Amino acid sequence: MEKIEDIRKRNNSAFLSIKEDGAALKLDQSLPSLNLVLYGGRGSGKTSVAKAILGQTDLLSASSSSECVRNQGEMCGRWVSVVEMPALNGKPQQEKMKESFRCISLCEPEGVHAFILVLPVGPLTDEAQEELQTIQDTFSSRVNNNTMILFTTDSDPKHPDVIKCLKKDKNIKELIKRCGKRYLVVNSSDRKQFSKVIDFVGKREQSCYTSGNLFEGYLDKLQQKEEKIARLQSQLSKLLPQTGFSGRYLKKYFAYILSIILFLSLKIIYNTEMYNLIVKKVSSLTCL
């Protein structure tokens, strides 16, 4: 059966979206679609936010599947895709890499317009800070320009207690700074307030985060490994007279060790094209 998304693209995004009350909404063809990624610690309310953004009550949840899930719908005249990521902090590196590739692939070809950290208003937990750090480490520093925070509260976002929490808490202020001071506060029970998320992201003239950015981030890590190996080779070459090994042997040995490490860490990647490019990079090392 042909996917709805494919039908939508074939018809230049012109179609009717049916709300839960049965009303039909015509999408504005002049407004581009948006791809949003929700992340955060366990119990942060990501699924509730996805439901509020899309105006749907029956959605797939990352917490129940332990992997990224995508839900789609209409919001503010736009076609919006919301990808919910499971909490990555504390998971094995291989699983983090797998979910990062899955996340980006669900947003292709446009890429991710915004990575949104979902946080309830209140004292900042270590898990929330670690989750942001995990995302930045996994997707590399290139993700920083596309990150923002969505604070949710049961009360009025302008309530003095809410404002005090965001303005006075040092940890929250630092977290906001790490996300480029991009944040919004919404009442979690008022769906209309979530339209601010669409407006905020839609008005930003920031390029999307794509699989190319992810690939470049991993290449940067490979480059760092190469530089580290070069430093080790330089240090150990001074000991060669005492070891009896030749410089060429030592260089090939370290390249071989690197190739094994990379293979074990990257074999779970199902993006064949990207995997082959990285393997080619490793092969060039082993031929030194």
Domain boundary among 207, 226, 242: 207
DSSP structure string for 175-186: HHHHTTT-EEEE
What span, in angstroms and rounded, lies between the C-alpha atoms of 264 and 126?
30
**CA-wise closest residue to 87 among 69, 62, 104:** 62
Q: In terms of domains, do 104 and 186 share one?
A: yes
Domain shared by 100 and 238, yes or no? no
pLDDT at 24: 47
Domain region containing 245: 212-286
Query: What was the pLDDT predicted at 185?
Result: 94
Q: Are residues 17 and 154 in the same domain?
A: yes
Q: Are residues 17 and 116 in the same domain?
A: yes
Residues 149 and 12 occupy one common structural domain: yes
* Number of domains the chain is built from: 2
Phi (first) and psi of residue 94, to 5 degrees: -60, -40
The answer to whether residues 55 and 178 belong to one domain is: yes
CB 88 within 8 A of CB 131: yes
CB 187 within 8 A of CB 193: yes
Q: Would you state the pLDDT for residue 106?
A: 92
Question: For the domain that residue 126 is a member of, what is the CATH number?
Answer: 3.40.50.300
pLDDT of residue 221: 77
The confidence score (pLDDT) of residue 270 equals 43
CB 271 within 8 A of CB 101: yes
CB 274 within 8 A of CB 215: yes
Q: 159 to each of 52, 60, 155, how far by Cα in Å?
A: 21, 33, 7
Same domain for 62 and 156, yes or no, is yes
Last residue of a domain, one of 183, 207, 231: 207
177 and 35 share a domain? yes
Q: Are 90 and 230 within one domain? A: no
pLDDT (0 to 100) of residue 253 = 64
Count of C-beta atoms within a 10 Å radius of residue 152: 23
Query: Within this chain, do residues 61 and 180 fall inside the same structural domain, yes or no?
Result: yes
Residues 84 and 104 occupy one common structural domain = yes
Q: Same domain for 217 and 201? A: no
Domain boundary among 207, 234, 267: 207
Local mean pLDDT, 10-residue blocks, the chain (288 residues): 46 43 56 91 88 84 77 88 89 86 90 93 88 87 89 91 89 90 92 90 84 82 78 70 58 63 52 54 50
Tell me what pLDDT residue 2 has.
46
Q: What is the structure's pLDDT at 83?
A: 94
